[in-house]
Structure 1
Amino acid sequence: MSKFETFNWQTTQDDIYHNKMRYEHVRKNLDAYLKPPKKDDQRKYYIRFPGNLKYFKIVLMRKDAEGASYIRRIGLFYSLLLLCHVVKKDLAKLSREDVDEAMAFVRVRVTPKNQSKWVEDIKHIAKIVVPELDEKGRPDDTVVPYAFRHLSGRIDMSKQKRKEVLGPDDVVKIIQFFRQDSRLQALLALCYESLARPQELLWLRVRDVEVYDNYAKIWVSEHGKEGTKFLECVDSFPYITKWYNEHPLRHKPDAFLFCNLGDSKRHGQMSPANVNKHLRNALAQLGITKQVTLYTFKRSGVTHLRLAGESDAVIQHKAGWTSTAQLKTYDYSQHEDTFKLQLIKRGLMIGDTVPEALKNLQPEYRKCAFCGRNNGVVDVICGNCQRPLDRKKILEEVRQKEAQISDLQEQMKKFNEVLNELVAGKTVVIKDAGKVVLVEKKK
């Protein structure tokens, strides 16, 4: 047996997508890629120059030793396979023209986003299998080999498609749709609020839940990309507590928090495919035409927090990221979204046209206590009745008017007394700017 066959490749844990099994299949059937695919084969590509097979083994053993994730190893394998499908010579003898030929092939076969990823992978692979040499003749894996150095992963913006993301109202509709399935309600609500990855959520155990009076902390104790962390559970708290109380194995700490309830693999771990199947059914019945997976709720949560004005640091800590660099990956906000946000903030979009999740961004109106008109938050005088909007000023004005009325009533009382005295034949002397003094006649 060769060194490749005996090399210990099981150096990390499997993920929720079972990529360990896929990688094992690739490793065991590596020689099959030397032959062109048959008509009924699912694969399209093969290694045209058999001598390049050794480079696949070098790359895979390096990643096995590093303990890279299985999906990462599979990704590098397919990137190298795409290159070796085009070139017909040893990778060590490739010229820039040969690499350009492969790049041209990739441009028409791969999406713009994956083109950039392919360039990144190929440069990384080239540093492993055909490295440049330093001044002492040793492999220098810090320098991209000359034949690959000119490749650019820049994405042509004109070829990009509009990214789809759920609106706040869509999120509410989908969660409400599963009102008969508290398990899915809790899963979707937690994914949207905590910004957790599907793999992190589906590996949660019952013991990971810490319930408090009106919130909960849910610990990611395994399979966390950034290590251990806790998930915030505030808005999703009612859904989590409802499912937690209904959980059939809630007294077993090692049971999966989100488990299967069907006959197949009952009480076992839920899979993303199972969740996505339920989502497709919900979308069809709700009339939502967007392509939605469990991951969409994470992206939508990040996008909506960004539009709601949350700082990058708050989103970073909420998601458990090590930096804010990942925001550009998950923020799907568009120009139309920011434009709508400005309309809401300025009060130009009101009523039912404002999504429920964004109503807190509407400006505060100062309602006139007299005529009921909504005035701007900085207005002092009502634009309709010209009365003051400030409560203190209104009370002061009312007190002043009450004092004026009291004075008028006093004057009217004095005036009536004067009239009565005149009728009685008394002399009336008026002094001091309207103050009335009565002087009785001498007999």
Structure 2
Amino acid sequence: MSDSQPIICVSEGELEGAGLSQEQLQWAKANGFAGQSGRLLALPDSEGDIGAYLFGMGAPGKAAPLALGAASAALQEGSYELKGNFGDPDLAALGFLLGAYRFDRYKKGKAAPELKMPEKADSAEVKRLAEAASIARDLINTPANDLGPELFEASVRYFARARKMNVAMVMGDDLIEENFPLIHTVGRASSQPPRLMDLTWGNANHPKLTLVGKGVTFDTGGLNIKPGNSMALMKKDMGGAANVLGLAHAIIDAKLKVRLRVLLPIVENAISGSAFRPGDVLPSRKGLTVEIGNTDAEGRLILADALTLADEEDPDLVIDMATLTGAARVALGPELPPLYARDDELAARIMKSGLALGDPLWHMPLWPGYDKMLESKIADINHISNGPFAGSITAALFLNRFTRQQTDWVHLDIFGWAPEARPGHPFGGTDQGIRALYGMLKERYGQ
């Protein structure tokens, strides 16, 4: 006999065929349960204790991929198993695990429920994707006083050691000597020096896959200081780096046939006498001069140097992830990050993977007509546009200048935050793009 409590999944209109006893059926009807999407109802046993739960999957065949996340978010500590019509076992189990996530470093709450894996689920795949999400979420949720550049570096080194990755780093004024002027400039005002971490894993003879993640541990906006309501969430401005690490975990755990490289420019955009200024003209590793239009658009600067480095070894594919623009949220909201790619077919494969795995993205254009918005009268390029339009696109077009046009390059402008809970995504720091990219990479490179 199982020690796990059953969660009986029922679609709308299918309550009568759910195998319930007459008493359970009457109880469900008396409580208005009809399989409504996300509805969780406890079923009493003969002694009046909770013997099982009913969970609504919504309209038949139209359940959200991570629907079971709504159940685990509401359940108490304990072991559970899925019964009934829960659809794809991998997605059902993954949704449950993602919804069971708790961030309790600073405030202890209810313990997370556990799941007995469905018989036909690929438990290794489900667990690696849930772990990838938790890596990203834990890092984003940690405030900057416990995850400044120094402690973020320590976290990355711990991550790398656990996965037998090689680690190299350039820090502080050595960034100038090693020709990473934009990374140095953005981070030089902080008491904790800027740094570029370079992690590698895998067979050198396999295709070169490079991930680049924006690692701004806190963003004041610099001298173009953010108002308080805009600064409140800026602990999440390293969300690109956090999600890159989650993706790296999935790649390594699955043993994809790649030579993986992870580049993380890690800085704090602080304010002091050495802060960079609007109107400054800066050199870049690429050799382009960059006029600073606004010091609050610092993420694209550190990515530019890192992308240039990534491109220098002729990689098979470069992917960057960054909490880059508010314009992306204006265009597509918090749940649907923009995806930019030079190869439309590759973008379509990533989108298809994301929809299948409950990790949606939307392909946006690298519209060449907007390149003129980045023109500068005194430098090769301005790093922000000269007007209020197409902010996410122009940010992508800026990054587009820092890898060669023949390089296969993908850019995700993620939010990294769930402003309100939804199935599989509790409130707070969240994963975006990991599963969409992993699904494409698994198909492209194999295990």
Q: TM-score, normalised by structure 2?
A: 0.24
Higher RCO (C-alpha under 8 Å, 6+ residues apart): 2
**Structure 1 length normalisation: TM-score?**
0.24
Give the helix-richer structure, 1 or 2.
Answer: 1
